[in-house]
Amino acid sequence: MFKSIMIFIFFSLGSVGAYAKIDLVTLPIRDQVQLTIYNPADLTLVREQRTLTLKPGINRLELSWAETLIDPTSVYLEAPQHKGQVNLLEVSYLPHVKESAIWVIESQVSGEVLVEISFFTSGITWNAFYMATLSTDEQSLHLQNEVRINNQSGEDYLNAKTRVIVGKIHLLDEIAQLAKQNPPYGMPIEPFPFTDGNGTLTPRLEEEIKEKSVRSIFTDSVGVAPKQIIKEGLSEYFIYTIEGTESIPNGWGKRLPALDKIDIPVQVLYRYDEQRYGTETQQLLFFKNDQEHHLGETPLPDGQVIVYRQLAENQHLSYVGQLQTQYIPVGQEVEFNLGTAKPVKVEPILMDYKTENYLFDYQGQISGFDRIQEWQLKLTNNRDIPVEIEIFRQIEHPYWNVTYAPDLAVHYEKIDLDTIKYRLTLPPHTKEYLLPYTLTLFEGERQSKKTLIKGMAQ
């Protein structure tokens, strides 16, 4: 069972240098264990409860963690029911002894004491996975989210209270590296070279944990309602606590449903933006992580999304695409990019080019002029439903002006210094919709005259 993390208590003779193990008092098993699993950092905080039998005064205890991926520098002990009365004074990693430490515990109480031991391990990971199903009319979405946990830590965790953490943690060292480091805190550092110095640092172990494919098992219980996941925020993190306990033996994975919402109103939008996507139109799906969209209880963790579309007949599905979603805070708009949309096309065509309004200096040299470009955006919608489309145009020139025919219904919106955006709806089966505009670029002296021109960029 718990082959690896073992605790022995013994009293020391108090002899110099070595701690003689003379009296093995008890071998406590763990009463309870809690796993807090992070992502994407390979880090799990393990807190286990054990009952130790302590005598008043100094107690020595041995902890060993052979064949695990535990970071020995992260091990702490607390006695929640005897705060201030049971203290871990020292942790000692003896010479020539690997994967073992001696703890010196000072106790003011006698008898059985419940202690909590916490440490980090690597090798347990989790990730979020989404299944999204668009309704036939693309007006609503069925969104399912699952949490998947994999245990490659070398340790079996049976009946563990399990929590997974959504958030981006700041780590200085990888736990997997610390777990391999011997001695646990590394070797002393030579701050400046002495003549006969041979102080070398332990070479960093480059070996990575090989990712193994693991089988996935669903909740142990068959025919019982799926487990609830309790969600709450703390600091910059969101905690998903899985109801009850879970057993995750070493080498196993487990998938638990975390969210299942139907009829989420969504907006499908097509977007053309050469800077971001090149010349292909993208299909995007928008909804907000809020109550109006039957969401908003928790942030949505980043993870993989597979999107299907419900077909009208016999509940058949068609595959739309897959994507990696960002983390979405409560209240923020979700943007799923479903990828290239061939049926909706945007083609910017330069129809005419001329230069005008030349200015000359006192020596007769050209000091300014306007470059006038006549653009036509050729839009096509081959779908059988109307589509909403956004077109971004980068002007790449800070001094410009856009004009268009007065009867044109579509106006642009200025995004920043040199970016404009058009937004319009294309009816179904639009073979060709032309959106013309005139772009004037001001060169040289004409740049300072531009404030005189109406409709000018500021």
Partner 1 sequence: MKLVISISYIIFSLLFLFAQSSWARVKLVALPEREATVVRLDNPMAILLEEERHLTLQKGINQVDFSWKGVEIIPDSVRLTVLEPIDSVTVLNVSYPPNEQALIWQIVSQNGQQVKVRISYLLKQIDRLITYKAIVNKEETVLDLTAFVVLRNFSGENLPLTRFQLDYGETLASKLANGETKRISFFTANQLPIKKYFTFDAAQLPWDPKQISDNVSIPVHYELDNTPENGLGKQVLWDGKVRLYAEDGHGNHLFLGEDYAQFTPIGQPLKLMIGDSRDVVITQRKISENRVNERRDKQRTQVILYDLEAAMQVDMENFKDQPAWVRLKEPMPEEWEMKTSSHPYKREHNQEIIFDITVPAKEKVIVTYDYVQRNMRP
Footprint of partner 1 on 23-82 (CB under 8 A)? 34, 36, 38, 43, 45, 47, 73-74, 76, 80
Nearer to partner 1, 178 or 387 (CB): 178
Q: How many CA atoms lie within 13 A of 84 on its CB side?
A: 0
Q: Which of residues 318-377 bind partner 1 (CB under 8 A)?
A: 324, 326-327, 329-332, 335, 361-363, 365, 367
Q: Does 455 bind partner 1 (CB under 8 A)?
A: no
* CA 118, 119, 123, 129 torsion-angle sign: positive
- Triad 263, 268, 273: Cα angle to 5°: 155
- In sequence order, what are the residues at sequence separation of 6 or more whose Cβ sits closer than 8 angstroms to the Cβ of residue 56? 107, 108, 109, 110
In the range 228-247, which residues lie near partner 1 by CB under 8 A? Answer: 233-237, 239
DSSP string, 183-208: STT-PPP-SS--TT----PPPPP-PP
Q: What are phi and psi of 194, to 5 degrees?
A: -90, 160
| Position 92 contacts partner 1 (CB under 8 A) | yes
- Tell me whether residue 136 or residue 448 sits nearer to partner 1 (CB atom): 448
Choose, by CB under 8 A, the member of 1, 22, 96, 206 that binds partner 1. Answer: 96
Residue 188 lies near partner 1 (rule: CB under 8 A): yes
Residues numbered 248 to 307 that lie near partner 1 (CB under 8 A) are: 275-276, 299, 302
For the bound state, the minimum distance from the C-beta of residue 131 to partner 1, rounded and expressed in Å, comes to 21
Instruction: Please identify which residue in 88, 214, 372, 395 interacts with partner 1, judged by CB under 8 A.
Output: 88
For residue 180, the surrounding DSSP H or E stretch is helix 175-180
Letters for 137-166 (x = contact with partner 1 by CB under 8 A, - = none) are ----------------------------x-
In this structure, are strands 253-265 and 216-217 parallel, antiparallel, or unpaired?
Answer: parallel
User: CB of 47: closest distance to partner 1 in angstroms?
Assistant: 6
- Give the binding range for partner 1 (CB under 8 A) out of 50-58, 91-99, 382-390, 420-428: 91-99
Q: Smallest gap, in angstroms, from Cβ of residue 63 to partner 1?
A: 13
- Number of residues engaging partner 1 in binding (CB under 8 A): 78
Nearer to partner 1, 34 or 151 (CB): 34
Using rule CB under 8 A, residue 16 touches partner 1: yes
Residue 214 within binding range of partner 1, rule CB under 8 A: no
Contact pick of 1, 22, 194, 203 for partner 1 (by CB under 8 A): 194
- Label residue 433 left, alpha or beta by phi (over 0 means left) and psi (-120 to 50 means alpha): beta
Helix (H) or strand (E) holding 176, with range, is helix 175-180
- For 275, the 3-state DSSP assignment is helix
Question: Is the C-alpha dihedral spanning 357, 358, 361, 364 positive or negative?
Answer: negative
Helix (H, G, I), strand (E, B) or coil at 64: strand
376-435 residues in contact with partner 1 (CB under 8 A) are: 398, 415-417
Dihedrals φ, ψ of 152, to 5°? -125, 30
